[in-house]
Structure 1
Amino acid sequence: MLTKLANLSEKMTVSHPMIDQWLASRRQLLVAYYQLIGLIPQKNDSQRCDEVALDAFCQRLVDYLSSGHFKRYQQIEMLLASQAQQNLLSALYPQLEDNTHTLLALYDTYLEPAISNGEIPKLRNVISEVGMQLDALFDLEDQMLLSTELVGSRDASPQLAAKQLAIDAAKPSASLSSGMLDS
């Protein structure tokens, strides 16, 4: 997944501070994931998991999923240049929503309790499933990012800067992402 992230960064023709931050957040999540999976296979069934590594990964996971829902998907939606791009986001959004719900259900059902009770056999399977779901989520996000022609660069124009200020000031609204994590 880190290789895919590096490939995505190379394919991005437009740089935008929000996207750069998003991809850095993804990298941090992946590093925490790889640290966690590197520790779990070394444990036998009677040993407790590394709660610090698990907690760090879980925090990054929840932060990443929340920021996608409450911030980044809305920002992407506002930066789209054409109706065709907005239609693409509309088509991808239900898949992003389903994947996020699956990841949150895995977190609620298995990961959060594992911090307390350290059930290694269950945790191995769940961490593997989380990895597959993250890979699917990243593929959808990559498709969204690569299929849109975002306007902007590190040297943003005054119009883009004003648009970014409006995005940052906007509260969650009746956009595509409203209600995604409400369940």
Structure 2
Amino acid sequence: MLTKLANLNEKMTVSHPMIDQWLASRRQLLVAYYQLIGLTPQKNSSEQCDEVVLDTFCQRLVDYLSSGHFKHYQQIEMLLASQAQQNLISVLYPQLEDSTHTLLALYDTYLEPAISNGEIPKLRNVISEVGMQLDALFDLEDKMLLSTELVGSHTSTAQASTSQLAAETAKPVERLSSGMLDS
């Protein structure tokens, strides 16, 4: 996921303070995620999770999801110049909302309680699921960012690919693994 972020940064040719801040917070979230997954595999099922690392990750996750949902998505929408770009955001936005709600459900159901009780066997599966959901969310956000005229592609290429991106993103976001929230 950090490699995808680096690739996205390379494609961006125009700096915008809001996008720079947003991508920096994504990087911080990913670093916290990698610190968390680096710690949990070394624990056995009877050990407590490192609460500080888990708490840092959870805080960054909630902050990132909140800022995207309540701030950045709307600001990106204001940067979209063409009708094709605005049409794409209308396709992406419901998927971004679904992905955000899925991640928040994982947080509310598993991660937040794990700060208190550190149930590692359950937590490992949830952390893996959170990683997959974050990757899906980042892919959607990247499509949104790449649809703006803030990237290095030529305008005609960007407009031609907007229809293709809309078709690709019309596929539903993967739902939680079967039974993940039922356990």
TM-score normalised according to structure 1 size: 0.81
- Counterpart in the other structure of 1:43: 43
- Counterpart in the other structure of 1:61: 61
1:33: Cα distance to partner? 0.2
* Structure 1: 4+ residue segments shifted above 3 A: none
Q: Which amino acid aligns with 1:20?
A: D
**What is the RMSD of the two structures over their aligned residues, measured on CA atoms?**
1.0
- Counterpart in the other structure of 1:111: 111
Give the Cα separation in 1 of the matches to 2:3 and 2:150: 23
1:128: Cα distance to partner? 0.1
Q: Which amino acid aligns with 1:11?
A: K
Q: What count of residue pairs does the alignment treat as equivalent? A: 151
Kept in 1: contact 2:12–2:150 (CA 8 A): no
- Counterpart in the other structure of 1:73: 73
Give the Cα separation in 1 of the matches to 2:15 and 2:88: 20
Q: Which amino acid aligns with 1:44?
A: N
- Counterpart in the other structure of 2:18: 18
Kept in 1: contact 2:79–2:148 (CA 8 A): no
TM-score normalised according to structure 2 size: 0.81
Give the Cα separation in 2 of the matches to 1:150 and 1:78: 12
1:88: Cα distance to partner? 0.5
- Counterpart in the other structure of 1:132: 132
SS of the counterpart of 1:46? coil
Structure 2 residue 136 is the aligned partner of structure 1 residue 141: no
1:150: Cα distance to partner? 3.9
Percent of residue pairs bearing the same amino acid type: 92
Kept in 2: contact 1:29–1:64 (CA 8 A): yes
1:124: Cα distance to partner? 0.1
Kept in 2: contact 1:29–1:60 (CA 8 A): yes
1:8: Cα distance to partner? 0.3
Kept in 2: contact 1:58–1:111 (CA 8 A): yes
SS of the counterpart of 2:32? helix
- Counterpart in the other structure of 1:123: 123
1:134-162: CA deviations, max 9, x gaps? Answer: 000000000000111149xxxxxxxxxxx
Gaps of 5+ in 1: 152-183
Give the Cα separation in 1 of the matches to 2:96 and 2:9: 20
Give the Cα separation in 2 of the matches to 1:5 and 1:103: 19
